[in-house]
Structure 1
Amino acid sequence: KTYVFSISDTKKLRFIDTPGFGDTRGIDQDNLNMEEIFSFLDNIDYINGICLLFKPEVVQLNRCLRSCFMQLIDYFGNTIGENFIFCFTNARSTFFTPGNALPLLKAFFKSFPDTKVVLEKKNTFCFDSEAFRYLVAIKDNIEFNTIERSEFEQSWKASVAESDRFLKCLCDQSAYKRNDKWQSINDAQFQIHSMIRPILEAMRNILRNIISYDRNLSINISPKHVTSLSMLCYRCGRNPEKINEFWIIKDHLHSS
């Protein structure tokens, strides 16, 4: 999903929410998630940053991180690491610092000498959602003592300050543009793949029109309004049906 926020009269910020890596269904699902992400990005000309979310108190990185990172490099190119933004959640437990995750990430990225990854204070941010839960609790008339209230307020102020710094960093970040830095064989493959269906559709329409002209036939097309959000499913079996002189393969609509 995408979320658009107006941060000024002339500027809007679009967040693209994607599935995380390390899916409990296994590496195959991770690969499928990455394919869906890249398919969506095929319609976008540039991005300003890729936000990677971690928890600061981890003792080891997710083993799927390497596979997902390599796919990002293959798709965007070796320079995409300069547009990485590192966000650490639940950071109150580590006093709003990256904690154990920072040395683990630095060691991980050193194993990719051909890819420059910027991991510094300027693109590292620590948040905590505890203050939001506190506000919800207040709405539900749950009482807290003075010390607890003070701690939650400090957590809120720290998260707000990090959020402001995060937005400024993202807006100041140079765009990673397609056909400029954004160049890779993997991206070219996705673009070629996205052209296959329109080309085949055009060929089918041309052939159908030739047959119709030669046999003095015509086809009446009656569009059907779809009331709910839907998408084409290419995994379901698509059996052709012969209607008069034509073989028709029907698309299956699934609710999104």
Structure 2
Amino acid sequence: NYLVYNSLDEDINGKLQEFISAWFTFFDKDRFEEKTIIIGTPNESEKKSPVGKSCTRERQSFVFRINNRILRLIDASGICDTDGVLQDEKNFEDILDYISQFDYLNGICILIKSNEERLHILFRFYIKQLLRHLHVHVKENIMFIFTNARATSFQSGPSASFFRTLLQSLKDQSITEVPFSKENSFLFDNEAFRFLALCKHGIEFNLEKKSKDYSRSWDYSIREFSHLISRIIQCDKHATRDTLSLNEAQQLIRKLSRPIDEIATLTQENLQLAEQH
């Protein structure tokens, strides 16, 4: 919608773009009832799931044209799935398998709500796992996207502070060094899209007043999106073979660990038998 329409008012009078299915609940205070608003058509890749379970069940890609450029967005499953570590590991493998068909990536976006008050241990673990799957050369292509930005008045919220601390600790442990600055951090808010979805579903508002309220979020998000695309264009392309080779090496090491342990055990047993004789 941000790509197709220049303003919120223009989108209100146009057709809602529904590339990815989505849903949210809305409480109608006049009727004192809760409604579920569904956008698009759910499928096996993207469908409504219980709280805590990733709605994106498998990666998808969407292609857009921006002026003379082609933009491909790859939508991947989230982390900290309620199905546990094995499901997250499967999601990582699914992503790696999918990107293997491309020669390079321009950017990797990590999304988190801007108003998260704490990053729990499991989340920190998964961020480390994510970075472990990525080649060191991709660090300049990593972008941090903070959503729900209106909740923090379109300023860096508590999530940014926690991320800064986490990345600094990774650097101190010599695990990896990922830049985290104004240049690769972006703030978005999707409330304008929700407002549009409510309008398209026949929810009545004082359009003049509400449109003015939500136009700020719309305009800000468009500016941030432009900055994000500009930043990605400036980055060097990351050759996917580097990340894929890294993960193949890690898998090989994991596969070799068991036979190496068995060989070491057998060697020790043979030495003990030799000493007895």
TM-score (norm 2): 0.62
1:14 is aligned to 72
Q: Deviations over 1:84-126 (max 9, x none)?
A: 1011111111111230001100110112123221111111111
CA contact (8 A) 1:127 1:162 kept: yes
Task: For residue 183 of structure 1, report the CA deviation from its aligned partner.
Answer: 7.2
Q: Summarize the alignment of residues 11-160 of structure 1 with structure 2, pairs less than 5 Å apart.
A: 11-113=69-171, 114=174, 115-139=176-200, 140=202, 142-144=204-206, 147-160=209-222
User: In the aligned structure 1, how far is the partner of 2:126 from the partner of 2:239?
Assistant: 21
1:173 is aligned to 235
Distance 1:75 1:187, change over 3 A: farther
1:161 equivalenced with 2:223 (yes/no)? yes
2:32 is aligned to none
Task: For residue 141 of structure 1, report the CA deviation from its aligned partner.
Answer: 5.4
CA contact (8 A) 1:56 1:101 kept: yes
CA contact (8 A) 2:137 2:238 kept: no
CA contact (8 A) 1:51 1:87 kept: yes
What secondary structure is seen at the aligned counterpart in 2 of 1:24?
Answer: coil
Q: Which amino acid aligns with 2:119?
A: L
Distance 1:73 1:137, change over 3 A: closer
Structure showing greater radius of gyration is 1
User: In the aligned structure 1, how far is the partner of 2:131 from the partner of 2:162?
Assistant: 19
User: In the aligned structure 2, how far is the partner of 1:110 from the partner of 1:122?
Assistant: 17
Distance 1:22 1:83, change over 3 A: same
CA contact (8 A) 1:75 1:187 kept: no
What secondary structure is seen at the aligned counterpart in 1 of 2:67?
Answer: coil
Distance 1:2 1:145, change over 3 A: closer
- Unmatched 5+ stretches in structure 2: 1-59, 253-277
CA contact (8 A) 1:57 1:100 kept: yes
Of stretches 101-110 and 150-159 in structure 1, the one that deviates more from structure 2 is 150-159
User: In the aligned structure 1, how far is the partner of 2:88 from the partner of 2:246?
Assistant: 21
Task: For residue 135 of structure 1, report the CA deviation from its aligned partner.
Answer: 2.1
- Structure 1's consecutive aligned runs of 4 or more residues displaced over 4 angstroms after TM superposition are 181-184, 188-191
Aligned length: 190
TM-score (norm 1): 0.66
User: In the aligned structure 2, how far is the partner of 1:159 from the partner of 1:18?
Assistant: 21
User: In the aligned structure 2, how far is the partner of 1:85 from the partner of 1:185?
Assistant: 21
What secondary structure is seen at the aligned counterpart in 2 of 1:142?
Answer: coil
CA contact (8 A) 1:73 1:80 kept: no
Task: For residue 172 of structure 1, report the CA deviation from its aligned partner.
Answer: 2.1
